[in-house]
Amino acid sequence: MSDFAPGLEAAFGAPPREFGPGPVAVEGALPEFLRGSLYLVGPARFDCFGQRYRHWLDGDGMVVALHLGQGPPRAAARYVRTEKWVEEEGAGRAIYRTFGTAFPGDRLRRGRALASPANVSVLPFAGRLLVFGEQGLPYELDPSDLGTRARCDFGCLNEATPFAAHPAVDPQTGEMVNFGVSFAADRPLLHLFRFDREGRLAARSRAELAHPYSVHDFSLSRRYAVFALSPYLLDVAAMLEHGATVAESLRFEPELGARLALFDRATGELAASIPIGDGYCLHQVNAFDDGEELVVDLLELEEPVYPDYDGLPELFTRVRPAHVVRLRVDPAAGRIIERRAVGAGLAADFPVIDPQLSGLPADVFWMLAIAETGRPGRKFFDRLQRFDWRAGGVADQYVPPPWHYLAGEPVFVPAHAGSVGSGAASAAQAGVVLCPEFDAERCESAFVVLDALDLARGPLARLVLPSPVQLGFHAAFAPAEANR
**Could you write out the DSSP letters of every residue in 145-194?**
T--EEEE--TTT--TTS---S--EE-TTT--EEEEEEE--SSS-EEEEEE
Q: Over 60: is that where the pLDDT of 424 sits? A: no
End-to-end CA distance of the chain: 51
Residues 382, 7: contact at Cβ < 8 Å?
no
Whole-model pTM? 0.96
Please give the single-letter amino acid code of residue 219: S
Q: How confident is the model at residue 191 (pLDDT cuts 50, 70, 90)?
A: very high
Residue 424 located in a structural domain: no
pLDDT recorded at residue 423:
42
> Mean pLDDT over residues 85-109, rounded?
97
Q: How do residues 349-401 score in pLDDT, each as one tens digit?
A: 999 999 999 999 999 999 999 999 999 999 999 999 999 999 999 999 999 99
Residue 423 located in a structural domain: no
- Find the CATH number of the domain harbouring 198: 2.130.10
> Mean pLDDT over residues 60-88, rounded?
97
Q: Over 50: is that where the pLDDT of 184 sits? A: yes
Domain total in the chain: 1
Q: Over 80: is that where the pLDDT of 99 sits? A: yes
- The whole domain housing 348 covers 2-415+430-483
Q: Over 50: is that where the pLDDT of 460 sits? A: yes
Strand partners, 476: 39
Q: How do residues 260-285 score in pLDDT, each as one tens digit?
A: 999 999 999 999 999 999 999 999 99
- Burial label for 306, CB within 10 Å (0-12, 13-18, 19+), is buried
DSSP state of 196: -
- Secondary structure percentages of the chain, helix, strand, coil, to 5: 10, 45, 50
pLDDT recorded at residue 151:
97
Strand partners, 61: 43
φ and ψ of 307, to 5 deg:
-60, -25
Residue 425 located in a structural domain: no
Residue 382 located in a structural domain: yes
CA torsion sign for 21, 27, 33, 34 is negative
Residues 181, 164: contact at Cβ < 8 Å?
yes
Residue 420 located in a structural domain: no
Interatomic CA distance for residues 342 and 367, integer angstroms: 14
Strand partners, 2: 377
Tell me the average pLDDT of the chain. 95
Residue 283 located in a structural domain: yes
Residue 169 located in a structural domain: yes
**Within 13 Å, how many C-alpha atoms sit on residue 395's CB side?**
15
Residues 320, 345: contact at Cβ < 8 Å?
no
Please give the single-letter amino acid code of residue 266: A
C-alpha gyration radius of the chain? 21
Q: Over 70: is that where the pLDDT of 421 sits? A: no
pLDDT recorded at residue 103:
97
Q: What residue spans of 100-151 are helical by DSSP H?
A: none
Residue 422 located in a structural domain: no
Q: How confident is the model at residue 428 (pLDDT cuts 50, 70, 90)?
A: low
Q: How do residues 223-256 score in pLDDT, each as one tens digit?
A: 999 999 999 999 999 999 999 999 999 999 999 9
